[in-house]
Amino acid sequence: MNIEQLIEEPPSLSEEELAARRDRIARDMQAARERAEAAAAVQAAQRQASLAHEAVRPAGERLIERRCHGCHTPETFESDNLTPLGWRLTLWRMEWWHGVALEPGEYRQLHEALVERSPASRGRALGEVALIISFPLLLVLLTLWRRRRPHS
C-alpha cells in the first residue's frame, strides 16, 4: 500500500493495533528529536573547539592568514626563508607595488610573525650582510676612482 491509498482508504485496524502504531510513531519521533539534539550538541562542541583553537593561535599567524593567504599559499612562506630585512622589504613591496593597505599595528605584527615563521638560513643572512656592507663600499671606491681619473 502506498501513501495515497492509506490517506484515501485508512486500513481498518483494531484499537490495539492503532495504539501500537501510535506508540511506534511516538517512539520514532522521540528518537528523531534525540538524534537532532545530539547532532546540534556535536556541532556546538565543534564550533566551541574551533573558536578555542583559534583563540590560542598567535595573533601574528591569524594575521598572516587573514592578510596574506588571499594571494599566497602557506607553502609560499615555507619556501621564502628571508632575513628580517628581506621580510621588511617584502612587506614594503606589497604595500607600494601591490597596493596592500596595512593598518599601523599590522605591519609590525606581520613582520615579527614572518621572521619567526620563516627565518633565513645562516648563509643567506651572511650573504645579505655582505651585500649591505659591500654596496656603500663600492660607491666609495667608485667615487675615489673617478676622482683619480683625469677628465678628458
Residue 45 lies in a domain: yes
Q: Return the percentage of the chain with pLDDT > 90, whole number.
A: 14
Domain count, the chain: 3
CATH code of the domain covering residue 84: 1.10.760
Taking alpha carbons only, the member of 124, 105, 113, 116 closest to residue 69 is: 113
Residue 131 lies in a domain: yes
pLDDT tens for residues 56-72? 778 888 888 888 888 88
Q: What residues make up the domain containing 42?
A: 14-56
Residue 142 lies in a domain: yes
- Assess whether 67 and 43 both reside in one domain: no
How far apart CA 43 and CA 26 sit, in angstroms, is 26
**What's the chain's Rg over C-alpha atoms?**
35
- Assess whether 86 and 35 both reside in one domain: no
Question: Confidence band (pLDDT; 50, 70, 90) for 150?
Answer: low
Length of the chain: 152
For range 91-120, the mean pLDDT: 87
- Assess whether 51 and 66 both reside in one domain: no
Residue 127 pLDDT greater than 60, yes or no = yes
Q: What letter represents residue 68's amino acid?
A: C
Residue 126 lies in a domain: yes
The set of cell numbers assigned to 84 is 628580517
Residue 3 lies in a domain: no
Taking alpha carbons only, the member of 70, 98, 76, 85 closest to residue 124 is: 85
Q: Which of 7-11, 46-50, 141-145 has the lowest average pLDDT?
A: 7-11
Residue 2 lies in a domain: no
Residue 23 lies in a domain: yes
Q: Which of 12-16, 61-65, 102-106, 147-151 has the lowest average pLDDT?
A: 147-151
- Assess whether 113 and 126 both reside in one domain: no
Q: Which of 19-23, 50-54, 89-93, 131-135 has the lowest average pLDDT?
A: 50-54
Burial 74-112 (b: 16+ CB within 10 A, else e): eeebeeeebbeebbeeebeebeeeeebebeeebeebbbb
Residue 149 lies in a domain: yes
